[in-house]
Structure 1
Amino acid sequence: MPKRERVVIQGKRERTLKLKKLRVKRRNILILAIAMFIANVAFGMAFPYLSVYMSLLGASMFMVGLLSVAFNLTSTVFQYPFGWLSDSTGNRKAFIAFGAASIGVFYTAIAFVNSATGVLILRTLQGVFGSAMTPAHSALISELSTRAGSIFGLFNSIENAGYMVGNFLGSFVVEYLGIKSVFVIAGFLLFLSAGLVLLIRERPSGKRSILGMILVQEGRESWRATVKGSAFKELMRGHLGLFYVTVFLVMIASGQFYSVSSVYFKETFGEWSVGVIFGVESLAAALTGYFLGRLIDRYGAKRFYLLAIAGYGLAFLLYAFVKNVWLVFGVAFLSGVKWILTINSTSAYVAQNVKVSERAQGMGLLNAMMSLGWVVGPLIGGYLAGISFTLNFLSTLVPLGLAFLLALKLQE
């Protein structure tokens, strides 16, 4: 065959292969988007009513705070190992599906428990197994596009839209079917989401042994030493380490507020308001997520992260003093914007500053820092809310102010 014809045929084959890869990527985006929308409908239904359910079972405000502590403590411990396993096996969808199904199992079980202690135990186990989902989920999204801000903005909008639907649907279910029904329905939706995720077509990668996961030798020249030993140290060094510290501080404030906010909304505005206020927050995040993601791509993650921290302070300050439910809906919209700014800017910052081979670990460490903040924050929030909700909300300005000052030192 003449050389010219071979070149033409090779060019056609390469174009065909590129088109095939593009179709697979688009199909994966669609499947993951649908699955995560459904999963977040479940989260939006169940999460706002966990604290209310605990309160109905006779738990103190401090024990309500422990509900978040238990979940996030186990998430903090297990997210990084699950992120490492996802990187080492090259498998994202299996971990996402396992995590989603596990969360569904424990939500369903919560509906059949009639003691606050039982709910606390199940929520703790939910944090262990559910933590398999988040690092792989973030890593898979980052691998679907080279434009980190845009792709995270797209998925955050889709997921927050699902969460919003879940918030409003949860209010309806609680009103007409009872609070236990919301956990059963959420469990079913999470099983459905897990099944959809398994339809994703991942590119095969070289299989790696997962032996020796715990024992790490620093000087060992192998993929294990690189992934398990130096990766963590590198991620916690320099500006990245400072970044993770600021995330931890912001999430302390978040944990202080949100671990007790459902009870506060119920007591101040009525039980019907809980799902609606959370729904307005989710609506704001869904409407602005993709747009803000594009702006992050254009102007950089740091400045939007600073804006997000300032948004936290303003939102919690307003929540402390606004007592009119219609004005609170406006505060909730602002609060939703600051959340989507936070998740978009922090995810983009990690994606832009961490090597591809360690990205799931970088995302896992980001989520671990968020979870760790939610270990400390609810302890403080549960104690201070027992004294005064207003005192608790105002005290969030301390970790937020420190986080803002430290974040000013981050590199662009």
Structure 2
Amino acid sequence: MPLRKRERVITQGKRERTLKLKKLRVKRRNIVILAVSMFIANVAFGMAFPYLSVYMQYLGATMFMVGLLSVAFNLTSTVFQYPFGWLSDATRNRKGFIAFGAASIGLFYMIMAFATSPVHVLLLRTFQGAFGSAMTPAHSALISELSTRAGSIFGLFNSIENAGYMVGNFIGSAVVEYFGIKVLFIIAGFLLFLSAGIVLLIRERPAGRRSLVGMILVQEGRESWRATVKSSAFKKLMRGHLGLFYFTVFLVMVASGQFYSVSSVYFKEAFGEWSVGVLFGIESLAAALTGYFLGRLIDRYGAKRFYLVSIAGYAMAFVLYAVVRNVWLAFGVAFLSGIKWILTINSTSTYVARKVSVSERAQGMALLNGMMSLGWVVGPLIGGYLSEISFPLNFFSTVVPLSIAFVLALRLPE
């Protein structure tokens, strides 16, 4: 009898080890698939995004309307981020929302190539923000679930994604030079469809999963639906130190929106059209080279201190961009700017991953991305107005929201 018991224990141990190895293989396979998909998606983003403002100008838009381009995208993105994040948590579906968001962005880029006025681009960018927002919360939540070392895994993916964005920046410059901006948007659209197809190869755990249709149709009446909606973690996540953290992110992104909503036009006027893709490419190169290393440091020393460094980096980069007139010095500023961005995205994502439970992770990430998008609603309005007066005035003014964010972030717990 003791022998049989010992055999059962040994058999059970073997089964558990086999199961762990199987889960590990699936997790590694998912990491590779997601990495390839996001690299391709970011090649597309790197190609198209830097030239949106330039495209608007070609179609006759004013600087204020160029600012509205960012407002339109980020306003709808802010509105739809949290509902999509909640749905991702409720259905335990990550890859479906990532694929839907990527394909939607790609479709609207392709249609954009046939736009004949700035209003058309503005309208398409609005729809792009609404449907594309399905991607970001599910994307961040899935990454956080691939490893217990949040800083390292976010650092790895941010390096991969910024490498893709950098490649897209340089390819975009070449495509615009030889084929024109319209062809650029069509190619970017095809790449995003490819990315969406690849991400569907990810294997997700079916346990505890509910379909969206089932959530809506199976329940009887409005009261059941209300009970489901009440599971939203919105109020809890917006209270206390997490609420303060999200507010500081909003302020940082106000400054970011002020600068980046007009930066393409500024680079074109200051250094020539060829410099637009190159400067964005150097920022992405810096982020790609340092992302994983900085992620490991965040795991070791904590997210808060690196978040504070990133806020200071924003102020330094924008002030330097305001005063630098030599393109070679601008390349150096761009490298610094890329580091501050990767520090921001790594530290903020890690902070949320550590403070929010897995069952509410997509909602927590949706609020993070929503605050970023909301900052990019307010920032471009300010940036577009101030840049009509003077680009340096706009760039120097970013120090105000960044200083407030820095002081408030000092109060955050580690």
TM range (shorter): over 0.9
Query: Structure 2 length as normaliser, TM-score?
Result: 0.96
Candidates 326, 335, 338, aligned match of 2:337: 335
Candidates 391, 396, 402, aligned match of 2:398: 396
Q: Which residue of 2 aligns with 1:49?
A: 51
Residue 106 (structure 1) aligned with residue 119 (structure 2): no
Which runs of structure 1 show a deviation greater than 4 angstroms over 4 or more consecutive aligned residues? none
Query: Structure 1 length as normaliser, TM-score?
Result: 0.96
Once the two structures are TM-superposed, the CA of residue 157 in structure 1 deviates from its matched residue by: 0.3
Q: Percent identity?
A: 80
- Structure-2 change in CA distance of 1:167 and 1:216 (3 Å): farther
Q: Which residue of 1 aligns with 2:295?
A: 293
Once the two structures are TM-superposed, the CA of residue 205 in structure 1 deviates from its matched residue by: 2.8
Unmatched runs of 5 consecutive residues or more in structure 2: none
Candidates 385, 390, 399, aligned match of 2:387: 385
Candidates 116, 119, 127, aligned match of 1:125: 127
Q: Which residue of 2 aligns with 1:302?
A: 304
State the distance in 1 between where 2:184 and 2:403 align. Answer: 37
Residue 351 (structure 1) aligned with residue 353 (structure 2): yes
Q: Which residue of 2 aligns with 1:211?
A: 216
Residue 367 (structure 1) aligned with residue 369 (structure 2): yes
Q: How many residues align?
A: 405
What code does the residue aligned with 1:211 have?
I
What code does the residue aligned with 2:339 have?
V
State the distance in 2 between where 1:148 and 1:391 align. Answer: 38
Q: Which residue of 1 aligns with 2:146?
A: 144
State the distance in 2 between where 1:309 and 1:211 align. Answer: 42
Whether contact under 8 Å (1:302, 1:349) holds in the other structure is: yes
Whether contact under 8 Å (2:169, 2:278) holds in the other structure is: yes
Q: What is the 5 A alignment of 1:320-331?
A: 320-331=322-333
State the distance in 1 between where 2:299 and 2:57 align. Answer: 43
What code does the residue aligned with 1:151 have?
I
Residue 276 (structure 1) aligned with residue 255 (structure 2): no
State the distance in 1 between where 2:12 and 2:241 align. Answer: 45
Once the two structures are TM-superposed, the CA of residue 11 in structure 1 deviates from its matched residue by: 1.1
Once the two structures are TM-superposed, the CA of residue 4 in structure 1 deviates from its matched residue by: 1.5
Whether contact under 8 Å (2:254, 2:375) holds in the other structure is: yes
Candidates 167, 172, 175, aligned match of 2:177: 175
State the distance in 1 between where 2:222 and 2:318 align. Answer: 42
CA-to-aligned-CA distance 1:200-253 (integer Å, 9 cap, x gap): 00011324453399x999xx8x6642x32xx11111111100000000000000
State the distance in 2 between where 1:76 and 1:64 align. Answer: 19
State the distance in 2 between where 1:127 and 1:204 align. Answer: 29
Please say which of residues 11-20 and 141-150 is displaced more in the overlay. Answer: 11-20
CA-to-aligned-CA distance 1:375-405 (integer Å, 9 cap, x gap): 0000000000011001000000000000000
Whether contact under 8 Å (1:311, 1:335) holds in the other structure is: yes
State the distance in 2 between where 1:205 and 1:145 align. Answer: 19
State the distance in 2 between where 1:392 and 1:114 align. Answer: 30
What code does the residue aligned with 2:117 have?
S
What code does the residue aligned with 1:42 have?
A
Q: Which SS does the other structure have where 2:216 is aligned?
A: coil
Whether contact under 8 Å (2:72, 2:122) holds in the other structure is: yes
- Structure-2 change in CA distance of 1:285 and 1:246 (3 Å): same
State the distance in 1 between where 2:215 and 2:365 align. Answer: 20
Whether contact under 8 Å (2:93, 2:209) holds in the other structure is: no
Whether contact under 8 Å (2:252, 2:402) holds in the other structure is: yes
What code does the residue aligned with 1:128 have?
A
CA-to-aligned-CA distance 1:4-24 (integer Å, 9 cap, x gap): 111111111111111111000
Unmatched runs of 5 consecutive residues or more in structure 1: none
What code does the residue aligned with 1:232 have?
F
- State the Cα RMSD in Å: 1.5
State the distance in 1 between where 2:388 and 2:182 align. Answer: 26
